[in-house]
Structure 1
């Protein structure tokens, strides 16, 4: 897949060799060959003195530097970005971590849905909580809630997408709450309970004047009624050439994280036996024309092209950082989604339904954008984590779920990557 994230973090490297340095060495060789023995003795004595002085300075500096390292309790948020910028942070593996995990307790965070709190819902094997994502060629600093809150002071972070995006939103809110001493200063703006049916949820961190919002827009483009003379099976349409009517609320943000794709399936769109977001029998429309035979990947591409045009036309990139998260794998045991493969540990090889056609569309659209949009390529990360889905530990327990993730869990690692990137690359 194309990784816009990797491209956006690339840094220049200077060569360690220099032709000018090599030619200078050749020039000075002539001087050494013509020097007298007394000159050489004097030079040797001076060189020895400089060498011994250098050893003393180096020893003193090294000792003081070692003391400084020991005294540092957490990574500086103004650190050199080379460690992250010089590698693909999505190329790595899950490792069991000795540092304290998880960052928060799902049962104690009022913004984590009960349906995502697997431990509260009876899951006893908690090994899945001990894994962190380790890039192969760089170090991502651990998430320090207080440092992140301070960096985001006075900002607005917005998530736009489906229930998978809401899971990441809940994860970030709970992660940030771990750094707040007075929890009463954190509230949902309108006093709403966390629900999958509400189109807008917003949490205000009063102590740092930070808002973290979620907008439910599962398709990103506008849903509308069927044309007056349309076929009877068409109950609603997706206007592939028009953005969601609530999109005007998104632009005034400092960070926006988009996702879409999980609702672009026959069951969520066409099938009369399954209810979609607003109705059943939802088909595609461009302009005034219905596109009844348009394949889903083609329609998804049309919709993302509309989204990309909106981003490039609307977003002020001097202020706002835009991310698009790639498709998250599910680990259903069969195509009918009646069996669920929840393993005890991460799988040794990536598996799961990654909806390759839709994943490719995301990569292509984000990759060709002129605007600096970052692709969060989490597909491979999630493909190993058959152990971290909700499975039978849902609420109510009769609902089997091998698409969504337990909280705390995998979405915490996505937020660590985003905000490690933001902190390390902020001006």
Structure 2
């Protein structure tokens, strides 16, 4: 922000409302109250130490189920129990965090504390703090990851707190590591802040919310040295990866100007980090001593209509769990879940057992279990309506950013009074109500002729895109409208009139109708979950073949993503004319045949993903000559010898697993 505005900050205004402090507004929806799941961590430790486990394919898909006598702990239901629950009281826990202290900060309905998880095939024993401490005697238990694991750590401490006299316990903090010590047992329960496991520019335990996240996917030792000798390690990493792509640094954060930066798409960048983590475990973990666990993903409950609530609302005010068994909500990525399962499966084949603590389904039910507004707010948020109205009078405003700030309702602002506006970022708020006129405010933006970025992703905006969007700007402009409830056809003027359109994201909406001309785009993304139903029968018959789009005209296209859609047939040879392409993603079980020879002209490619298709024949040798940072050809029907030079020498950048007729090459 400073660099973009440093020459104009005295003349113009920049307004940015970003979460401050260590937690941020969005954490109120991302974090379930801590006491809900810590008992499962305890159960997992008990069972692993007792070697009572069975591996099975449960309805959490393919992750291993920590079990007792054949009972899957993660398959069950929530039962109201106000006799034996809660296991501890918030106000009696010495170390309760203000970010989780719902009662302290005004929550009146406390019934969320009385729900007990009941597996279908067995009963969980009553928690015994002394017994747990005996299990932990002379041991280090370390939670590693983001705020989800921090919550589990706090809950674990609160579970044992009452069993230890004040003189026999201590807590200290040293940067990223927090250590609770039970002195009589010589046991520590620790949390280490490492939200992406590998090194990143979000590693500071307080100041970690940055607009441009950067990771070093091959660097983990800086973190790992703090938990090398732990007896029990519980990892998690998920929410901080929820971006479509991330910048990867090959180099050092100490000398960032000397590094190489490349943008890598999700989930590939997530897989790369997990592989680095897995390699570290293989080398450093004592298989005879250390117990290893991985905490699965937790949902956010940001869209009430998913469980039958009011459209446009979230979990605020909810007082009971979802009682429908098998309910699956939002906020969890199956592709990322599969990436974790794949890495854990590979480790298992190499003799290293990392157990999944699968909280995903059981936390899906707990829509009432988030802190929501009932917590300490480090940031000062002005009255939302007053703020939104006041900016209409800020004629010199050049940037307005309220990303992730929990604003709600319709956007009723006359942006026409902001002629110098360059950036308008309203992303990741519950803005809109899914109604037909939610985007009417865009009509005012036609007066903002200098606008360069309009970011509305992951709001709750409904209706159709107004035709006026074609008159939006005379500047190179990026439009991000994904993750909403937009419907109808895509206006022809959206692309036809915006000659300088540089990026268009219409993902995860409900559009219908045919595509517009896209010849001026530099980035084009066809995302899953859009409903594209061309109006003519002839177009509809050819819709699933990518050839119906004349991609040969996209001379300036640098980014093409057609992954996880219903396209089929052969890869169009016209792609060879897209000589500016740097990022090409075509994964998703649809394409067949061989790579077209026209791909030889795509020498600028940096990232190529053709995985999970039906491509056959030999791997093209010309790929050896490309300067690829990542190449994913997994789960196709390629055969013959694997090339041996270029990217094919880099095990981190290459994935060719699942091609049963390939021979030679590096070990995957």
Aligned counterpart, 1:254: 231
> For 1:235 and 1:379, how far apart are their aligned partners in 2?
28
Deviation of residue 345 (structure 1)? Answer: 0.8
> Structure 1 234/174 Cα, relative in aligned 2: closer, same or farther at 3 Å?
closer
> Structure 1 100/115 Cα, relative in aligned 2: closer, same or farther at 3 Å?
same
> For 1:83 and 1:357, how far apart are their aligned partners in 2?
25
Aligned counterpart, 1:372: 353
> For 1:264 and 1:236, how far apart are their aligned partners in 2?
9
> Structure 1 374/186 Cα, relative in aligned 2: closer, same or farther at 3 Å?
same
- 1:340 aligned to which of 311, 314, 320: 314
**1:139-178 equivalent positions in 2, closer than 5 A:** 139-178=123-162
Q: Deviations over 1:254-277 (max 9, x none)?
A: 11100001101239x86xxxxxxx
Deviation of residue 159 (structure 1)? Answer: 0.5
Question: RMSD across aligned C-alpha pairs, in angstroms?
Answer: 3.2
Deviation of residue 224 (structure 1)? Answer: 6.3
Aligned counterpart, 1:265: 242
Q: Deviations over 1:309-344 (max 9, x none)?
A: 111111112111010001111111389xx9532421
> Structure 1 104/334 Cα, relative in aligned 2: closer, same or farther at 3 Å?
closer
**1:40-59 equivalent positions in 2, closer than 5 A:** none
> For 1:235 and 1:168, how far apart are their aligned partners in 2?
28
> For 1:89 and 1:310, how far apart are their aligned partners in 2?
29
Gaps of 5+ in 2: 1-43, 56-65, 203-209, 252-258, 306-311, 382-404, 408-668
CA contact (8 A) 2:216 2:249 kept: yes
User: How many pairs align?
Assistant: 299
Deviation of residue 372 (structure 1)? Answer: 1.1
CA contact (8 A) 2:181 2:189 kept: yes
Establish whether residue 360 from structure 1 lines up as the match of residue 338 from structure 2: yes
> For 1:9 and 1:391, how far apart are their aligned partners in 2?
37
Q: Aligned to 1:132, what secondary structure does the other structure show?
A: strand
Aligned counterpart, 1:183: 166
> For 2:265 and 2:54, how far apart are their aligned partners in 1?
40
- 1:290 aligned to which of 241, 261, 267: 261
Deviation of residue 244 (structure 1)? Answer: 4.9
Q: Aligned to 1:95, what secondary structure does the other structure show?
A: strand
Higher relative contact order (CA 8 A, sep 6+): 1
Deviation of residue 284 (structure 1)? Answer: 1.3
Establish whether residue 237 from structure 1 lines up as the match of residue 220 from structure 2: no
> For 1:98 and 1:266, how far apart are their aligned partners in 2?
40
> Structure 1 124/299 Cα, relative in aligned 2: closer, same or farther at 3 Å?
same
> For 1:224 and 1:118, how far apart are their aligned partners in 2?
31
Q: Aligned to 2:92, what secondary structure does the other structure show?
A: coil
Establish whether residue 113 from structure 1 lines up as the match of residue 97 from structure 2: yes
> For 1:295 and 1:163, how far apart are their aligned partners in 2?
24
Deviation of residue 290 (structure 1)? Answer: 3.0
TM-score (norm 1): 0.64
Q: Aligned to 2:241, what secondary structure does the other structure show?
A: coil
**1:10-409 equivalent positions in 2, closer than 5 A:** 10=53, 84-180=68-164, 182-190=165-173, 198-223=175-200, 237-266=214-243, 283-285=247-249, 289-292=260-263, 294-333=264-303, 339-342=313-316, 343-348=318-323, 349-369=327-347, 370=350, 371-396=352-377
Q: Aligned to 1:386, what secondary structure does the other structure show?
A: coil
Q: Deviations over 1:163-207 (max 9, x none)?
A: 111110000011011222x123211135x7xxxxx4111011112
Q: Deviations over 1:354-374 (max 9, x none)?
A: 122222211221122130110
Higher helix share: 1
> Structure 1 254/380 Cα, relative in aligned 2: closer, same or farther at 3 Å?
same
Q: Deviations over 1:17-63 (max 9, x none)?
A: xxxxxxxxxxxxxxxxxxxxxxxxxxxxxxxxxxxxxxxxxxxxxxx
CA contact (8 A) 2:198 2:223 kept: no
CA contact (8 A) 1:84 1:139 kept: no
Deviation of residue 210 (structure 1)? Answer: 0.9
Deviation of residue 141 (structure 1)? Answer: 1.3
> For 1:396 and 1:379, how far apart are their aligned partners in 2?
27
Aligned counterpart, 2:629: none
> For 2:262 and 2:126, how far apart are their aligned partners in 1?
48
CA contact (8 A) 1:394 1:400 kept: no
**Mean CA deviation greater in 380-389 or 85-94:** 85-94
Q: Aligned to 2:71, what secondary structure does the other structure show?
A: coil
TM-score (norm 2): 0.42
> Structure 1 328/291 Cα, relative in aligned 2: closer, same or farther at 3 Å?
same
> For 2:98 and 2:67, how far apart are their aligned partners in 1?
37
